[in-house]
Structure 1
């Protein structure tokens, strides 16, 4: 029988964390190890196991080499298969209720695939979803897992992804040419709305918040009708809308961070498995 070399799954898990987080510090937090331990793991993986350089440093950021990019695809598949194998064996014992809090921004874009895969692996687990703005979700203590949007530098919990905030309007609209820019935004406590208004104030651009709602679908309905411009995460903009920016006289917007919070008082194998599915789902997009 042929003998094949193997790679410790913990090394792969740390490798994927570094690739996703862009450095050792955040990766160490994610895998619950010290930064020096993470560094030693990568030294072992590069020098003793694959015998290739997997990262190259660019300032404080760790970038994948061509060999690293190749291994990353295999690593994700290996870890996912391991998880599926264990989940299948444990499935009869995985029952209960998990309460998730999320802004409705992410429900249609990210969660359908996540919940479908989770339901297939754990059909007896009940998932209860609570859709509210991030600032309201951060005040709740009764949720097991919470997905919220945070400003750069104010991330807490597990970083799922970072995205640019962009301006958008209906495909054939020319609202940016109006003397006063009509906006459709979330309600006043949304930091994205504050970013948009502050950016326009800084460049002395006249505007008014013509429409506001806690519902992203309501905002997009208004924008799609050609009534207003909005500023949202790039991945949320529908294909029938047009992203606009500097060429239309609008200011650049910063990056936003999407994070996952775990309630330490309600942790269980069920909630942790769903947390892993959520993290995988956001990374895949």
Structure 2
């Protein structure tokens, strides 16, 4: 028979990681320290059959097997809690408010919302499409969750993924050879716009910002029409465009991070469920 893992063992294991030791974890799971130690011993010796922690005096750290188990443990516990909530309250109703730039709406949101609605069919989802700069200024509780783009090294919240920033042009046009180079860029303030302009200036390349918009769809339409060159995240490049690199005379651009922000008071089974689907959707 396929061996299963008692979710209480996983709960204790995660508590030790989150609380930094056995003593605080014992308080968190309402058990004695010796009971917690016995649970981990059972998990290591009888279930996983690998050490999960390296012990150095009072200090502990995860082994490679422990790190692997941690990701699975969190997902199993999240699903366990979600299943109980759904089954105990099958007609749960409510509302969740999410802010997201239109950059990610067509690329990521359909699959995320479809998965979420299958589990929470009666929940109303408010989607507010605004640039990252505006969403960052709305962390006052008016939104439960926000997906924003940040510079690498300046992230706040949960990092969903990191992606390369690339130059793009319509496949059937050689517009990138023009001087001054016509650009289609996001409106200020936008670090991608700043990096693109600075990179061209350092390379001694003349340019002009011919089109400016807060909407990725607008920039994509301009580029597809062969009117300008633009720069955005690689995962957002669509068919009919090609990426320009140093062989085309375009300097490399810094990577960007997509992060998930949660309002301080936004903690409920509904918000937690949508946050989990967002995390999975962006990391797939």
Tell me the TM-score range normalised by the shorter chain: 0.7 to 0.9
Summarize deviations over 1:75-130 as a string: whole Å, max 9, x none. 79867864663354145253211111110001100110110111111111100011
In structure 1, the gaps of 5 or more residues are 16-27, 55-61
Alignment CA distance shift 1:74-1:242 (3 Å): same
Contact 1:45 / 1:51 at 8 angstroms: preserved in 2? no
CA distance, structure 2, for counterparts of residue 44 and residue 266 of structure 1 = 36
Asked if 1:107 corresponds to 2:105, the answer is yes
CA distance, structure 1, for counterparts of residue 249 and residue 13 of structure 2 = 43
Alignment CA distance shift 1:228-1:92 (3 Å): same
Q: Secondary structure of the equivalent of 1:92?
A: coil
Q: Secondary structure of the equivalent of 2:251?
A: coil
Higher Cα Rg, which structure: 2
In structure 2, the gaps of 5 or more residues are 23-36, 53-61
Contact 1:94 / 1:125 at 8 angstroms: preserved in 2? yes
Contact 1:87 / 1:122 at 8 angstroms: preserved in 2? no
Summarize deviations over 1:226-269 as a string: whole Å, max 9, x none. 11111111010102211111110101111111111111133322
Deviation at 1:186, TM superposition (A): 0.7
- Pick one of 116, 119, 122 that aligns with 2:117: 119
Q: CA RMSD in A?
A: 3.6
Runs of 4+ in 1 over 6 A off after TM superposition: 12-15, 43-46, 71-77
Contact 1:169 / 1:242 at 8 angstroms: preserved in 2? yes
Contact 2:112 / 2:277 at 8 angstroms: preserved in 1? yes
Deviation at 1:146, TM superposition (A): 0.6
Q: 1:165 is matched with which residue?
A: 165
Count of residue pairs brought into register by the alignment: 258
Q: Secondary structure of the equivalent of 1:110?
A: helix
TM-score scaled by length of structure 2: 0.77
Q: Which has the higher mean CA deviation after the structures are superposed, 6-15 or 262-271?
A: 6-15
CA distance, structure 1, for counterparts of residue 148 and residue 248 of structure 2 = 30
Contact 2:82 / 2:269 at 8 angstroms: preserved in 1? no
Deviation at 1:74, TM superposition (A): 7.8
Q: 1:251 is matched with which residue?
A: 251
